[in-house]
């Protein structure tokens, strides 16, 4: 999927001259954690987020250093911190070099950028003209809206079995050997694993196939060196009851 399919269009914005109080109220009233900053032509010039309100003189959280340490920091950095912690306008505290994406950026790239820069939102631009914003909330909303209940005309048991086998065997974590049985959309996974994490991955791979109703885990864990083996939790419970 691409950014244009999930982004929020016409996001709430502020300008560099907007007061910090007004920006804070906008965030609170609209339940958002960041605002793109634009000029009078709609060109993106920065972004202000909740993080910019953390170190503030008004609430006593500004950076405090011993005098000897301030000497090593240098006057330039100290001046920048002073402006960021005591400035009263958005333009004085905003990030003027935000990470951006375009309409055609893939969601995979969006997630990579969010993780790399530890950020929650990315302005969407064409050139530097602001078109929208994509946030973690947009990604969450997209996942929640995906409809997995649409009938699949090829979702008979044979097709399901083939798809599950393909979904599992293409991964490095696949069981050493496994078998898939499907009856009326209910899946039974048998086989041997040497790492418990392969169990959950195998179940998830099967659950993600359209048309699957239930997945039952019969994968047996085997310790390669000793040969010690353990039944799946599901089989262990069944054995206890019998």
CA distances from 198 to 22, 24, 169, 174, 231 (A): 51, 46, 12, 6, 14
Please tell me the distance from the alpha carbon of residue 167 to that of residue 172, in angstroms, as a whole number: 11
State the Cα angle at 44 between 126 and 23, rounded to 5°: 140
Please tell me the distance from the alpha carbon of residue 21 to that of residue 170, in angstroms, as a whole number: 54
For 3-146, the fitting CATH number among 3.40.50.970, 3.10.580.10, 3.40.50.300, 1.10.3720.10 is 3.10.580.10
CATH 3.10.580.10 maps onto the chain at 3-146
pTM of the model: 0.60
The yes/no answer on whether domain 157-240 falls in CATH 3.30.43.10 is no
pLDDT in tens, the chain (242 residues): 889 888 888 889 999 999 999 999 998 988 888 999 999 999 999 999 988 888 776 766 665 655 645 555 556 666 666 766 777 799 988 999 999 999 999 999 999 999 999 999 999 999 889 999 999 888 888 877 665 555 555 668 889 999 999 999 999 999 988 889 999 999 999 989 999 999 999 999 999 998 899 999 999 999 888 888 899 999 888 888 86
CATH 3.30.1340.30 maps onto the chain at 157-240
């Amino acid at each position: 999927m691409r950014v244009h399919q999930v982004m929020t269009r016409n996001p709430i914005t502020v300008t560099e001259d907007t007061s910090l109080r007004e920006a804070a109220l906008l965030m609170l009233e609209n339940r958002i954690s960041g605002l793109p900053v634009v000029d009078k032509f709609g060109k993106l010039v920065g972004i202000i987020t909740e993080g910019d309100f953390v170190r503030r003189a008004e609430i006593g959280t500004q950076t405090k250093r011993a005098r000897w340490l301030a000497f090593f920091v240098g006057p330039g950095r100290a001046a920048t911190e002073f402006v960021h912690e005591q400035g009263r306008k958005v333009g004085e505290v905003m990030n003027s070099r935000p990470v951006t994406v375009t309409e055609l950026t893939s969601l995979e790239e969006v997630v990579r950028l969010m993780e790399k820069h530890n950020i929650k939102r990315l302005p969407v631009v064409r050139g530097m003209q602001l078109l929208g914003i994509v946030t973690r909330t947009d990604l969450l909303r997209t996942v929640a809206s995906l409809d997995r209940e649409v009938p699949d005309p090829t979702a008979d048991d044979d097709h399901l079995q083939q798809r599950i086998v393909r979904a599992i065997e293409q991964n490095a974590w696949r069981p050493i050997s496994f078998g898939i049985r499907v009856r009326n959309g209910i899946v039974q996974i048998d086989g041997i694993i040497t790492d418990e994490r392969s169990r959950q991955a195998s179940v998830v791979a099967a659950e993600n196939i359209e048309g699957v109703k239930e997945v039952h885990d019969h994968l047996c864990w085997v310790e390669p060196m000793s040969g010690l083996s353990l039944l799946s939790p599901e089989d262990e419970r069944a054995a206890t009851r019998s």
